[in-house]
Amino acid sequence: MTAPSELLSRRERVMLFLQREVSRFTSFFWIPATTFTMRYLLGYRIQNATRLRRRFREMVRESDGPVLICANHLTMVDSALVAWALGGTWWSVFNYRWVPWNLPETRNFASGRISQLAIWLTKCMPISRGGRREDVSKVLRHVQHLLTRGDTALIFAEGGRSRTGRVQVDTVAHGMGRIASSVAGCRALCVYLRGDRQRTWSALPVIGDSFYVDIDMFQPTSEQKGMRRSRDYARQIAGRLARMEEKYFARRQRRS
Amino acid sequence: MTREEIFTKVVEIVRPFAKDKDALAEAKLETNILDDLKVNSARLVDVILEFEDEFDIEVEDEDADSVNTIGDAVDLIAAKVG
């Protein structure tokens, strides 16, 4: 396992610190603006939000190690929905380390100057999925560094949005397992989020949709080494999300 | 094992994962596994794990970061098998 100080150069650490602090300072504006947009302009609702947030706060209070948030992925605003669902507005502003860093796809979110600035301010590090391995690896090292420093990050189990609308354990993102296996004591906080009117993947959820959210935290383990260990971790996390999805559909079937 | 033998085995391992079979037929050391052969990036891990099995080596994630082309794979394997 690499020591935190060896993961990034001094310049990279300074740039990351700068991004984090500017982002924290401006969060008094952008977090309420984002949640206002989701709540009042798009009409989204988080089911049992109070109970969910209480459970999340208990989990993070009891956790004394790094936490990687791993979620299923169906729409382009899932990261904002997950952050809102878990932290709400003002708790997130005042507990900024628990607002997760995000890894949006460069092609979708970081193609222009304004969008680059916007994602820089909102705790994002763009990543090119399928891009040069060195570039992907650099972003993953940033995430490893952040986790060891007490921040949290959100990574989608399948990398991109699920083309089948269901969690695909076979196409799990290796980077997720790589991060979880390379950070000592890292726990995976699995988040299953789905709008009741979300049939499959899409750009945005349906306006006025109501979101079911389930969370579960565990520490993956493996007897394997090297890349097999990372893959094992990734599969365990994706497997956990797949079981949470089964629970969601069983519940929905009982209700219909 | 010579580099030519490693090259031949690497191409055979990549074959089931390559979507562009024409590019694979003309594969060279400079051929990019993702861009030219159209191997899905998520499956590249499986390709490298097949290298581990075939050549009886162990590859760390950091080692795999350097694998972009067939030649990179050959270099990595050659270094591991000695």
Low-confidence ranges of chain A (pLDDT < 70): 1-5, 110
Task: Report the C-alpha gap between A86 and A193 in whole angstroms.
Answer: 11
Output phi, psi for A68, to 5 deg.
-105, 120
Interface contact flag, A227 B67, Cβ < 8 Å: no
Residues of chain B found within 8 Å of residue A178, distances taken between Cβ atoms:
61
Residues of chain B found within 8 Å of residue A172, distances taken between Cβ atoms:
42
What's the pLDDT at A3?
A: 58
Distances (CA, A) of B36 to A79, A160, B7, B43: 32, 21, 16, 15
B29 token code pair: 């050391």
Touching A: B residues 38-67, CB under 8 Å: 40-42, 44-45, 48-49, 52, 58-62, 64-67
Best of A1, A174, A181, A224 to mutate (most B CBs within 10 Å, chain B): A174
A231 interfacial to chain B (CB closer than 8 Å): yes
DSSP-derived 3-state class of residue A203: coil
Rg of chain A, C-alpha, whole Å:
17
Touching B: A residues 110-169, CB under 8 Å: 129-134, 136-137, 159
Distances (CA, A) of A242 to A35, A187, A225, A228, A238: 28, 18, 24, 20, 6
What's the pLDDT at A2?
A: 56
Instruction: Output the 3-class SS for A62-115.
Output: HCCCCEEEEECCCCCCHHHHHHHHHHCCHHHHHCHHHCCEECCEHHHHCCCHHH
Residue ranges of domains in chain B, CATH in brackets = 3-81 (1.10.1200.10)
In chain B, the N- to C-terminal Cα span, in Å, equals 9
Q: Which of A33, A176, A199 is nearest to A118 (CA)?
A: A33
Q: Which residues contact A127 (CB under 8 A, 6 or more apart)?
A: A103, A104, A105, A106, A135, A136, A139
What's the pLDDT at A221?
A: 95
B82 versus A167: the higher-pLDDT residue is A167
Q: Which residues contact A219 (CB under 8 A, 6 or more apart)?
A: A185, A186, A187, A188
A201-244 per-position pLDDT tens digit: 999 999 999 999 999 999 999 999 889 999 999 999 999 999 99
B9-54 per-position pLDDT tens digit: 999 999 999 999 999 999 999 999 999 999 988 788 899 999 999 9
Residues of chain A found within 8 Å of residue B45, distances taken between Cβ atoms:
174, 227, 230-231
Q: Domains of chain A: which residue ranges?
A: 7-255
Topology of domain A7-255, CATH: Glycerol-3-phosphate (1)-acyltransferase (3.40.1130)
Nearest Cβ partner for A226 among B40, B42, B58: B58
Rg of chain B, C-alpha, whole Å:
11
Helix (H) or strand (E) holding B73: helix B70-81
Handedness of CA A17, A23, A26, A32 (dihedral sign): negative
